Every structure is written in structure tokens, then in C-alpha cells.
Amino acid sequence: MVKVPEQFAEMNKSSIETALRFAKVSMDSAERLVKLQLEAAKAALDDNAKNAKALLEAKDPQEVLALRTQLAEHSVENAIAYSRNVYEVASQTQAELTQLLEERLETFNQGVAGAMDKAGAQVPPGADFAVAAVKSMMAATAAAVDSMTKAGKQMAGLAEASVKATTQATAEAVKGATKGTRGK
């Protein structure tokens, strides 16, 4: 016999655990981003103080121009590093949430399959086709979700490669542009 109240209680418990894990992942991610922002703000304040002092100590316009170029390059490098760090946090969070979703979906599918097996044992003769249809639908849904998950992971990998290539190209362009200005 199928024990519906016990199944609902277990489902509710599992849902609460999932919600708590989701909240923890979200809070951890927010904490990492806030920490990253505070570190960037502190570094920017320190850099601005040093830059102002260096500009005040410059003796001629050529030294100011060279310093300006150096400061611009340093600022772009800092921005690129900050962007990389933000991207890493977002990537890690996305991976953790995807894993949580996959685990939850697998548990749900197992629960439905188990319930269908139990219900299938109690169905009247001739109704087996309905149970088989539901099982087939669940298998097709699981396969579709699996395909979407794999496609999502491939897209995330492509996005990561694209971000790295763009970051590298930007850094090289900035270095090339500042070297060109220094030579003048």
C-alpha cells in the first residue's frame, strides 16, 4: 500500500533541505562578492593616494606623461583582474547551483519511479499501459534534462574560454598601446 502522508512529509523535508542549501550557496556567493568589492575599493583608494603623490612629485611634463601612461596600464590591469575574480565567483556559484539542481532532480525522478513501481503493483489488470506511459514520460524527461544540462555545461565552458581570450587580448592591447605612447 502506498503511504501518501509519509511520502509528503519526506518530500517536504527534502524541499526544505534543498532550499537551505540554495540559500547557503547564494549567501556564500554574496559574501565572496562583497569581500572582493571591499578589497578592490581598498586597493583603489591606496592606488589613488600613491598616484596623486607621484603626480605631485613629477618634475617635468614628460615625466607626468610617462606616469600617466603607467597609471592607465595599471588601472586596466586591475580592472581585468577584478573582472576575472567576479567571473570566477559567478562561475563557481553557477556550478554549485547546477549540481544542487541535478541532485534534486535525480532524487525527484527516483521518488517518482519508486512511486510508480509501487502503484504499478496495485493497479488493476489492463491498466499497466498507463503506468508504462508515465514511466516512459519520466525517462524521456530525464533524458531531455540531461541533454540540456550537458549543453549548459558546454556553453559555460565556451563562455569561460571566450572571457579568458578577451581578457588576454585586452591586456595585450593595453600593453601594446602604452608601449607605443612611451616611445613618443
Q: Report yes or no: 91 and 160 within 8 Å, Cβ to Cβ.
A: yes
Please report the sign of the dihedral spanned by the C-alpha atoms of residue 28, residue 33, residue 36, residue 41: negative
- Nearest-angstrom CA–CA distance, 51 and 74: 11
Q: Residue 1: its pLDDT value, please?
A: 47
- Nearest-angstrom CA–CA distance, 86 and 65: 32
Helix, strand, coil: what percent of the chain each, to 5?
95, 0, 5
DSSP state for residue 60 in the 8-state scheme: S
Of the candidates 6, 33, 143, which has an alpha carbon nearest to the alpha carbon of residue 93?
33
Find all residues with CB under 8 Å of 43, minimum gap 6, and list them. 78
Residue 178 neighbours by CB distance under 10 Å: 19
3-state secondary structure of 126: coil
Query: Which pLDDT tens digits describe the chain residue by residue (184 residues)?
Result: 456 577 667 777 888 888 999 999 999 999 999 999 999 999 999 999 999 999 899 899 899 888 988 898 899 889 989 988 998 999 899 889 888 888 888 887 777 777 777 766 777 777 777 777 777 887 787 788 778 778 777 877 777 777 777 777 777 777 776 666 555 4
- Please write down the long-range contacts of 90-95, taking CB distance under 8 Å and 24 or more positions apart: 90/29, 91/156, 91/160, 92/29, 93/25, 93/26, 93/28, 93/29, 94/156, 95/156
Find all residues with CB under 8 Å of 84, minimum gap 6, and list them. 163, 167
- Nearest-angstrom CA–CA distance, 142 and 134: 12
Q: Where are the beta strands (DSSP E) in the chain?
A: none
Is the pTM above the cut of 0.75? no
**pLDDT tens, residue by residue, 5-31:** 776 677 778 888 889 999 999 999 999
